[in-house]
């Protein structure tokens, strides 16, 4: 279906005039979509792995020869692959995660990724979205004349909008008869879809407008500026910037200056990156490079030449791919920002103390503040939370320093820089931070008063010391907690200094408390490993006095978990793997899930998300997380509903599925009050304590895995390990399979059936299926309530042998009725 500029404009006009606008208007504009590849999947138990055995124990050589064999005669001088240097071995599981990027004619295929998981000399799983076919000639290819998948998705979205509007009109007519009052012709799902449309589809008309105005008529394959400017028209939230670009197009292009920098892709493939200055509405030079991208073509894909841009703006950090050919088309865009919503000597100094809501108290409605110690984990934070080696201290020239360390008495350290950001701007280095003095005591009164509405903001600002302290405390604990479950330096975590343990450094989390750029939300920006993550927490004007998101741990944890899942999925240096669709939805869901597991208690209870900040008992999602189907009826098929277009709604379903899975593990293995593993002994070994156990199956390879003993700690471990195993842009099926494989690796599959039963309870069993996904939602799903045959008998389920023998994955589109475990 072709969406012409006139239909698009007509729809927006209709929406703008006929519908009253409700809800917060200060929503951050964000775009996200891309081609949905028919062939990209996660393969547990690769059929050809036996053949890939080579006379080497080097996991990288094994992975390389595996991929060589997988691609066979496809490979040539013009079609090769680069081993990405963010590949790593997980020291806890012994799994080496090896990432490859496809290179065609010396250019990267921006969405050509293979990730291979190797353990004990064997490829245990892989994900693959490489282009298959012959390298195109180096001359510009003719692009297909069809409008492309994106326009088609926009057409589907438009159809959904019209349907919803019709429904609303019907309801309004009924309501009017009853009440004789004007009912509003809008609701939250409608508004959400409308925003999706405005942000992601409006720009479809831009190429035509530009051509009509006489710009960008010719392609210059060496000049990215025209394509970039076209992207900026779509990306900027500021109409004045759009008008300026349209009126002064050629002058703006002429004003852009640039220089080139070489960039290594893997060990020996270098590409050139153009750094472009003076791009409207950006806050740093834009990085541009020539790439290929794949567009679906039946059940295969074709290659299109394109520009890949990294565009940092005030509220977004985009990775965008725009076609070379004029009129340029935006083919894929991921926003690295997501909304919410070697141990040295132990420290000599006294640990800091903070007057805070302690970890586990989700928000002020759940408990009071106490004076908590800087109980940093010596493995995760060898220097504590307030010390940065001078070499990696962005403030070092301003500070008196002793020896090679900067010792701060403010909320500034190796993992987190926490500060006020009332201005809502991008600057942060010199923003206000509370000072705990030489004794490092951060103790401030918190007693917000009911005020006139006009004074609410000033009243909230009085407690800035309290909220920065809380944000610093929560964020450091989350750093340390996730570290102990494997989000360490090589896996791409956020630290200024990496203590020589690998990974890219210089990327502590910039944490803005009471950020002035919005209300009633929060967001997190995740660039690739080595660049600072940025967390922005907002005030909520939902109550009097205002509520402060910094004080609701669940919201902070949700945001920090974006950094976790994006760095772990598809490799630390690939931030484009959870951009939209089911993958983007899971990016939201993991945050809700982890926040909920962290706050949960031994005595089971349901939990809403963000209830305190939003001042709404049911929280900010459609349902609380619950085992009770009447309380939370979500299943896999729920994603079909038009109200579930968009990543947050998709994420809610994923979090609910994981919540149900988690409870099965808790029923089986019990519950631990503290999710923090025991501290290492003097010799560096980690004691089992009451936290770990050695699995019944004894892995022949070392290290012997330490298995969290209790259900809640185990699920956190499996979820994190699953993130590492799954490939870039995973589906629900891929992420489920990766969690099940994570259990195979860690325990030899002790929980194989518990996991399957949990997933199947919510429709994600072996016979679940989907047809026709779009980048934002929709499609037709089939709930699958079946589990593998081995899990169906009354007998104790046999752990399946490791690795699980399994034929090639069944098709994405078909019910998996040829699955070997299925027993009808």
Specify whether the CB–CB gap between 602 and 55 falls below 8 A: no
Is 559 exposed, middle or buried, given 0-12, 13-18 or 19+ CB atoms closer than 10 A? buried
Specify the DSSP class assigned to residue 119: E
Q: Give the one residue of 336, 359, 405, 483 binding ligand NAG; rule: CB under 6 A.
A: 405
Question: Judged by CB under 6 A, does residue 414 bind ligand NAG?
Answer: no
Residue pair 633/652 in contact (Cβ under 8 Å)? The answer is no
Using CB under 6 A, pick the residue from 270, 631, 679, 780 that binds ligand NAG. Answer: 631
Find all residues with CB under 8 Å of 259, minimum gap 6, and list them: 274, 275
Any contact of residue 745 with ligand NAG (CB under 6 A)? Answer: no
CA dihedral 39, 40, 44, 46 (to 10 degrees): 50
Measured from the CB of residue 622, what is the shortest distance to ligand NAG in angstroms? 15
Supply the minimum distance, in Å, between the C-beta of residue 770 and ligand NAG: 29
Query: Given candidates 204, 291, 383, 513, which one binds ligand NAG under the rule CB under 6 A?
Result: 383
Q: Which of 628, 667, 771, 793 binds ligand NAG (CB under 6 A)?
A: 628
Q: Which of 617, 632, 628, 620 is nearest to 592 (CA)?
A: 620
Q: Which of 152, 244, 297, 347 binds ligand NAG (CB under 6 A)?
A: 347
Token pair for 82: 């680069």
Least CB distance to ligand NAG at residue 434 (A): 5
Selected catalytic residue, list 504, 559, 652, 761: 559
Give the helix, strand, coil percentages of the chain, each rounded to 5. 35, 20, 50
Stretch that binds ligand NAG, among 342-350, 472-480, 573-581, 606-614 (CB under 6 A): 342-350
Contact flag: residue 348 with ligand NAG (CB under 6 A):
yes
Which residue lies nearer to ligand NAG by CB, 432 or 671? 432
Residue 98: both structure tokens together: 């090896």
582 carries a ligand binding annotation: no
> Whole-number minimum distance, CB 768 to ligand NAG, in Å?
24
The binder of ligand NAG chosen from 27, 462, 641, 709 (CB under 6 A):
462
Q: Nearest approach, Cβ of 705 to ligand NAG (angstroms)?
A: 32
Candidates 288, 285, 339; CA nearest to 315 is: 339
Q: Which is nearer to ligand NAG, 624 or 677 (CB)?
A: 624
Residue 729: burial class (beta carbons within 10 Å; 0-12, 13-18, 19+): buried
To the question of whether residue 507 is assigned a binding role by annotation, the answer is: no
Position 454 contacts ligand NAG (CB under 6 A):
no
Among 171, 213, 349, 668, binds ligand NAG (CB under 6 A): 349
Rule CB under 6 A: is residue 622 a binding residue for ligand NAG?
A: no
**Closest distance of CB 500 from ligand NAG, Å:** 15
Calculate ∠ Cα 656-560-740, nearest 5°.
45
Among 434, 549, 608, 797, binds ligand NAG (CB under 6 A): 434
Nearer to ligand NAG, 351 or 360 (CB): 351
Contact track, ligand NAG, 187-206, x by CB under 6 A: --------------------
Closer of 169 and 449 to ligand NAG (Cβ): 449
Single out the segment in contact with ligand NAG by CB under 6 A; choices: 274-282, 291-299, 551-559, 627-635: 627-635
Q: How many CA atoms lie within 13 A of 103 on its CB side?
A: 19
Q: Which is nearer to ligand NAG, 277 or 667 (CB)?
A: 667
- The residues in 88-127 that bind ligand NAG, with binding defined as CB under 6 A, are none
Q: Determine whether the annotation assigns residue 562 to a binding site.
A: yes
Closest Cα to residue 227, out of 146, 89, 328, 311?
328
Applying CB under 6 A, the span of 66-74, 402-410, 470-478, 642-650 interacting with ligand NAG comes to 402-410
Contact region with ligand NAG (CB under 6 A), list: 279-287, 347-355, 514-522, 728-736: 347-355
Instruction: Give the binding-site size for ligand NAG (rule: CB under 6 A).
Output: 16
Counting contacts by CB under 6 A, is residue 464 touching ligand NAG?
yes
Site map for ligand NAG, 677-696, x if CB under 6 A? --------------------
- Say whether residue 402 binds ligand NAG (CB under 6 A): yes
Is 569 an interacting residue with respect to ligand NAG (CB under 6 A)? no
In whole angstroms, the minimum distance from the beta carbon of 425 to ligand NAG comes to: 19
Reply yes or no on whether 251 is catalytic: no
Pick the closest to residue 40 from 729, 725, 514, 785 (CA basis): 729
Per-residue buried b or exposed e for 316-349, using 16+ beta carbons within 10 Å of the residue's own CB = bbbbbbbbbbbbbbbbbbbbbbbbbbeeeeebee
Which residue stretch of 230-238, 314-322, 459-467, 500-508 sits at the interface with ligand NAG (rule: CB under 6 A)? 459-467
For residues 217-246, which are near ligand NAG according to CB under 6 A? none
Peptide bond into 703 cis (omega under 30): yes
Residues 24-63 that bind ligand NAG (CB under 6 A): none
Alpha helices in 427-508 (DSSP H): 456-461, 464-484
Q: How far apart are CA 441 and CA 371, in angstroms?
A: 9
By CB under 6 A, residue 465 contacts ligand NAG? yes
**Which range, of 401-409, 490-498, 678-686, 739-747, touches ligand NAG by CB under 6 A?**
401-409
User: What is the residue-wise DSSP string for 767-811?
Assistant: T-EEE---SSS--EEE-B----GGGTSSSPPPPPPSSPP--SPPP
Dist CA 296 CA 309 (whole Å)? 21
CA dist., res. 353 & res. 356, Å (int): 9
- Least spacing, CB of residue 445 vs ligand NAG, in Å: 8
Q: Which of 611, 609, 606 is nearest to 626 (CA)?
A: 606
Residue 606 interacts with ligand NAG (CB under 6 A): yes or no: no
Q: Which is nearer to ligand NAG, 446 or 612 (CB)?
A: 446
Alpha carbon separation from 697 to 21, 118, 747, 795, 802 (Å, rounded): 59, 19, 7, 19, 10
Report the nearest approach of ligand NAG to the CB of residue 347 (Å). 5
212 labelled binding-site residue: no
**Choice between 409 and 615, CB closer to ligand NAG:** 409
Of 405 and 428, which has the nearer Cβ to ligand NAG? 405
| Cβ proximity to ligand NAG, 20 vs 603, nearer residue | 603
CA distances from 62 to 98, 116, 265, 572 (A): 10, 9, 20, 21
Pick from 72, 181, 630, 685 the residue near ligand NAG by CB under 6 A. Answer: 630
The interface region with ligand NAG, picked from 346-354, 544-552, 644-652, 670-678 by CB under 6 A, is 346-354
User: Alpha helix locations (H) across 37-147?
Assistant: 59-71
Q: Which two tokens stand for residue 461?
A: 């600002």
Residue 674 Cα distances to 95, 359, 369, 660, 691, angstroms: 26, 10, 18, 20, 9
Q: Where are the alpha helices (DSSP H) in 180-282?
A: 188-201, 206-212, 225-235, 239-247, 249-255
Beta strands per DSSP E along 1-94: 41-44, 79-83, 88-89
Q: Which of 717, 678, 719 is nearest to 695 (CA)?
A: 717
Q: Cβ closer to ligand NAG: 463 or 776?
A: 463
By the 10 Å C-beta count (0-12 exposed, 13-18 middle, 19+ buried), 17 is classed as exposed
Q: SS3 of 514, please?
A: coil
Rounded CA separation 636/773 (Å): 13
Task: Closer to ligand NAG by CB, 338 or 407: give it.
Answer: 407
**Closer residue to ligand NAG in complex, CB, 187/347:** 347
Q: Which residues are annotated as a binding site for Zn(2+)?
A: 339, 558, 562, 588
Binding-site residue set: 339, 558, 562, 588
Q: Which residues are annotated as catalytic?
A: 559
Binding site for ligand NAG (CB under 6 A): 347-349, 383, 387, 402, 405, 407, 434-435, 462, 464-465, 628, 630-631
């Amino acid at each position: 279906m072709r969406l012409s500029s006139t239909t698009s404009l007509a729809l927006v006009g209709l929406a703008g005039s006929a519908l009253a606008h409700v809800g917060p208007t200060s929503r951050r504009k964000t775009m996200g979509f891309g081609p949905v590849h028919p062939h990209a999947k996660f393969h547990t138990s690769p059929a050809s792995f036996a053949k890939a055995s080579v006379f080497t124990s080097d996991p990288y050589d094994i992975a390389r020869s595996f991929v060589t064999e997988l691609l066979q005669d496809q490979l040539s001088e013009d079609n090769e692959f680069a081993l990405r240097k963010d590949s790593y071995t997980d020291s806890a599981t012994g799994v080496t995660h090896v990432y490859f990027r496809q290179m065609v004619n010396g250019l990267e295929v921006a969405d050509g990724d293979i990730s291979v998981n190797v353990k004990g000399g064997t490829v245990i799983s892989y994900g693959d979205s490489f282009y298959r076919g012959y390298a195109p000639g180096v001359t510009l290819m003719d692009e297909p004349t069809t409008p492309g998948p994106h326009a088609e998705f926009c057409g589907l979205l438009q159809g959904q909008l019209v349907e919803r509007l019709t429904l609303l009109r019907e309801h309004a007519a009924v309501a009017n008869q009853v009440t004789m009052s004007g009912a509003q012709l809008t609701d939250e799902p409608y508004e959400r879809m409308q925003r999706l449309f405005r942000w992601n589809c409006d720009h479809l008309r831009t190429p035509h407008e530009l051509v009509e105005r006489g710009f960008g008529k010719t392609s210059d394959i060496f000049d990215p500026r025209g394509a970039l400017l076209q992207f900026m028209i779509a990306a900027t939230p500021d109409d004045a910037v759009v008008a300026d670009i349209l009126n002064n197009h050629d002058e703006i292009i002429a004003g852009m200056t640039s220089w080139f920098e070489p960039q290594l892709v893997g060990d020996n493939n270098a590409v050139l990156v153009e750094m472009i200055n003076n791009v409207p509405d950006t806050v740093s030079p834009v990085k541009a490079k020539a790439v290929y991208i794949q567009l679906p073509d039946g059940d295969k894909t074709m290659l299109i030449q394109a520009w890949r841009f990294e565009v940092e703006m005030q509220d977004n950090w985009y990775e965008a791919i725009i076609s070379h050919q004029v009129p340029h088309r935006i083919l894929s865009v991921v926003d690295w920002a997501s909304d919410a919503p070697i141990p040295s000597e132990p420290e000599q100094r006294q640990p800091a103390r903070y007057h805070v809501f302690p970890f586990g108290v989700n928000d002020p409605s759940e408990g009071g503040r106490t004076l908590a110690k800087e109980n940093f984990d010596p493995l995760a934070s060898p220097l504590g939370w307030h010390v940065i080696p001078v070499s990696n201290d962005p403030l070092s020239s301003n500070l008196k320093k002793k020896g090679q360390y900067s010792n701060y008495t403010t909320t500034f350290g190796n993992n987190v820089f926490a500060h006020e950001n009332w201005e809502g701007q991008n600057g942060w280095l010199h923003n206000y931070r509370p000072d705990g003095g030489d004794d490092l005591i951060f103790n401030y009164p918190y007693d917000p008063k009911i005020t006139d509405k006009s004074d609410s903001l000033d009243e909230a600002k009085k407690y800035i010391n309290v909220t920065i302290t809380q944000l610093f405390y929560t964020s450091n604990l989350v750093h340390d907690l996730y570290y102990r479950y494997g989000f360490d330096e090589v896996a791409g975590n956020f630290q200024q200094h990496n203590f020589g343990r690998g990974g890219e450094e210089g990327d502590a989390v910039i944490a803005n408390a009471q950020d002035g750029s919005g209300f009633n939300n929060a967001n997190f920006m995740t660039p690739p490993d080595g660049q600072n993550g940025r967390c922005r927490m907002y005030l909520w004007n939902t109550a009097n006095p205002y509520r402060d998101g910094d004080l609701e741990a669940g919201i902070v944890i949700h945001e920090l978990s974006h950094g976790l899942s994006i760095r772990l999925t598809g490799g630390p240096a690939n931030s484009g793997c959870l951009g939209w669709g089911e993958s983007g939805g899971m990016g939201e869901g993991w945050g809700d899930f982890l926040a909920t597991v962290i706050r949960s208690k031994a005595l089971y209870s349901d939990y809403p998300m963000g209830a305190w900040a939003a001042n709404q008992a049911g929280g900010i999602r459609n349902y609380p997380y619950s085992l009770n189907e009447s309380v939370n009826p979500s299943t896999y098929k729920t994603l079909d509903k038009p109200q579930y277009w968009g990543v947050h709604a998709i994420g809610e379903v994923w979090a609910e599925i994981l919540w149900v899975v988690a409870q099965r593990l808790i029923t089986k293995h019990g519950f631990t009050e503290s999710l923090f593993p025991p501290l290492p002994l003097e010799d560096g070994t980690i004691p089992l304590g009451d936290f770990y156990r050695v699995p019944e199956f004894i892995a022949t390879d070392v290290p012997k895995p330490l298995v969290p003993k209790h259900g809640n700690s185990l699920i956190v471990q499996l979820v994190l390990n699953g993130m590492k195993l799954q490939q870039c842009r995973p589906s629900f099926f891929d992420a489920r399979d990766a969690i099940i494989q994570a259990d195979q690796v860690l325990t030899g599959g002790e929980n194989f059936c518990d996991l399957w039963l949990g997933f199947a309870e919510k429709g994600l069993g072996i016979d679940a299926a989907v047809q026709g996904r779009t980048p934002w939602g929709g499609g037709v799903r089939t709930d699958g309530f079946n589990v593998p045959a081995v899990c169906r008998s009354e007998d104790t389920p046999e752990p399946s042998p490791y690795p699980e023998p399994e034929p090639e994955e069944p098709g994405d589109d078909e019910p998996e009725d040829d699955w070997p475990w299925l027993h009808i």
